[in-house]
Amino acid sequence: MKTKPKRGVLKYIIILFFIFFVVFVTFNNINQKNLLCEDCNLIIIGIDTLRADHLGYYNYERNITTLNNLAENSYVFKNTITQASWTLPSFMSLFTSTYPHQHKIINKFYINDEGEIETSNLKILSPGIVTLTEILKQEGYKTGGFTGDAGVCSEFGFSEGFDYYYDKDIFGGFNKSFTLAELWISKNKNHKFFAFIHGYDCHGEFELDYEKRLFSKDSNFIYNGTMEEEIALREKGLEEGYLNLSKNDLTFWKNLYDDKIVNMDNHLSNFIQYLKDEELMNKTILVIVSDHGDEFLEHGKIDHGATLYDELLKVVFMIKLPNDNKRVIEEQVRLIDVMPTVLDLLNIKTESNLKKQIQGISLQPLMKGKSLFLDAFSETDYRMFVSKKSLRTHNGWKLIVDSLSNSAEIYDLTNDPHETNNLITSKRDKYNELKKKLIFYSNTELDLDLLTDNIIHLNSEEFKKFKLIESFELKEKTLYNFIKNNEYLKIEKTKNINEETAKKLINNDIIQIKALFSSSLSPYPGEISNEIECADEFKPILFKTEIGDDELQYLTTYSNDRFGIGVCSKDLIKFRYLIGWIYCPKMRELYKIRYFIPLEENYEKLKEFFINIRCDN
């Protein structure tokens, strides 16, 4: 028997359902719709050389008032990674959502087809690439750029799409940029506009008046903080690889940097006040961003551009929307994500060819509390001193590859955020995994072969021409596969082994190989069993060579296309093959080397290659 609910209860349920529905719809609207700011103005403030960790959201002890206040009412991307550690390529990546090797503005100069040196320019080097400004102009925006010149000057292509672009003061500051921007905005504010406002105030080559200093005024300091002093220290670090400064001197430069940040912040404060006075905050998306950090001997240098450590890669990025919606986003994002994010917030749809160009992704999902798990690729080709690439994974691993010194570094950022413990020798599997990702993002064949310097203690000029393609970690051994054109090199390293044991292993190997070629019965029983005999021409030839105190043993024979040994049939032979052993007593390492060359190549090459290899210590 059913009992009917009483009328009062039913009414109560309907009201509850209605309230739930209203709350659900409202909440959903806030989540989905309020982020869009169609036809809003866009202002991007590019603060050159500002480290993220000198702001309040990193619990920095010094108060950078305006930026800290803005951060409290904005979407703050706490872990934003720049795609380059110096101005030119970094801002170009921001403006195009492409990696430096794609927009090709990786250096101030390039060599043209006639071999002449010319100034790098986006429209010459990458004519197909469209800038954020060009898109906004096409969407009917008035566009104005107000910059400190140098790395963002119009010559490189930054002025593309701008109705007005100021770049007359080399290493100019916000004092000028904000003043000019305010004049321009006042004239254009009745129309939707995009303003890019940039200043070098935090940069080493920006000189801060003595009376504007707070922390670097102490008379104990021997430095004055001039541009010349800063440049001299930067160059010394670049030339010598490592700079020595006393604790007191380092304190001075850090204090001066903070003085510059405070000075910049005061200019920003006035500009924010201007926007409020002009009632522009309620119809403008304000983006605050920096292009790279600055280093203070964390890794032996001063300034920026030369490395890809986090003191340079972690930049400031926050978005202030007209409503005061806010969120601190811990997940890693990239500067290439700025362009697709602002286009998305302005509800500007990108055409298919632009979709192909854009390497970043709209961060709206993160702003709504979702996850994206982004990896960050960065690179720097700085003034002929440096050619580096890095890959920073969303889960805290980082690979840095230096193509000039042919070395690599791996850091576990979760446990080693300051990148002090390079795990390249102990984390081979991680290296292989990160290397694949790095190659994917850099879209280029990387010369990572010479990383053998770190992993194999063998030396010879010919050996260095090979490229490491993979390695396998076994219990007591590591296997490495190398390639050079159509030649293959396979090296097996046995670690922690004494000389006596090494000799035993070598002899065992030789006995086993000889056994492979001895005449034997085929494995078929009874009458169909035949004796198999390997013709002499296919049998291995064993050599012993005395070089100084070392005795090298090796043998040459043939191999099939699967690098197998013991091939006695012409049909199956694909390579000439050498197998040899070298014991390195100091490292207590035994190397078994197998070298394969195509049949048509000179046999002598194998022997020559092998007897020129030495232990490198």
User: What count of Cα atoms within 13 Å lies in the side-chain half-sphere of residue 172?
Assistant: 21
Select the span of 47-55, 271-279, 551-559, 565-573 touching Zn ion (CB under 5 A). 47-55
Cα distance between residue 58 and residue 496, in whole Å: 45
How far apart are CB 155 and Zn ion at their closest, in Å? 16
**CB closer to Zn ion, 48 vs 487:** 48
How far apart are CB 332 and Zn ion at their closest, in Å? 21
How far apart are CB 260 and Zn ion at their closest, in Å? 13
Contact 195, 285 (CB under 8 A): no
User: Binders of Zn ion among 77-96, rule CB under 5 A?
Assistant: 87
Cα distance between residue 181 and residue 147, in whole Å: 10
Cα distance between residue 380 and residue 378, in whole Å: 7
How far apart are CB 385 and Zn ion at their closest, in Å? 17
**CB closer to Zn ion, 160 vs 205:** 205
Q: Residues with Cβ < 8 Å from 559, sequence gap 6 or more?
A: 565, 567, 573, 574, 575, 576, 577, 596
The answer to the question of residue 378 lying near Zn ion (CB under 5 A) is: no
User: Binders of Zn ion among 256-295, rule CB under 5 A?
Assistant: 291
How far apart are CB 86 and Zn ion at their closest, in Å? 6
Contact 435, 428 (CB under 8 A): no
Q: Residues with Cβ < 8 Å from 196, sequence gap 6 or more?
A: 43, 44, 46, 133, 144, 145, 146, 147, 162
CA proximity to 410, closest of 438, 383, 379: 438
**CB closer to Zn ion, 82 vs 216:** 82
Structure-block tokens of residue 135: 């898109």
**CB closer to Zn ion, 265 vs 375:** 265
How far apart are CB 469 and Zn ion at their closest, in Å? 37
Structure-block tokens of residue 474: 């076994």
Residue 169 DSSP label: S
Select the span of 7-15, 25-33, 44-52, 321-329 touching Zn ion (CB under 5 A). 44-52
CA proximity to 317, closest of 567, 75, 107: 75
Cα distance between residue 299 and residue 309, in whole Å: 8
How far apart are CB 322 and Zn ion at their closest, in Å? 29
Select the span of 40-48, 95-103, 216-224, 525-533 touching Zn ion (CB under 5 A). 40-48
Select the span of 41-49, 50-58, 153-161, 280-288 touching Zn ion (CB under 5 A). 41-49
How far apart are CB 389 and Zn ion at their closest, in Å? 19
**CB closer to Zn ion, 315 vs 555:** 315
How many chain residues bind Zn ion (CB under 5 A)? 3
How far apart are CB 46 and Zn ion at their closest, in Å? 8
**CB closer to Zn ion, 171 vs 558:** 171
Select the span of 42-50, 317-325, 501-509, 601-609 touching Zn ion (CB under 5 A). 42-50
Q: Which residue has the tokens 């010319």?
A: 118
Contact 471, 428 (CB under 8 A): yes
How far apart are CB 305 and Zn ion at their closest, in Å? 9
Residue 590's beta-bridge partner residues? 494, 583
Q: What residue type is assigned to position 369 of the chain?
A: G
Comparing every residue's Cβ against Zn ion, the nearest one is 87
**CB closer to Zn ion, 166 vs 171:** 171
H or E stretch at 596: strand 589-598
The answer to the question of residue 48 lying near Zn ion (CB under 5 A) is: yes
Select the span of 48-56, 325-333, 379-387, 413-421 touching Zn ion (CB under 5 A). 48-56
CA proximity to 422, closest of 449, 443, 402: 402
**CB closer to Zn ion, 203 vs 389:** 203
Contact residues for Zn ion, defined by CB under 5 A: 48, 87, 291
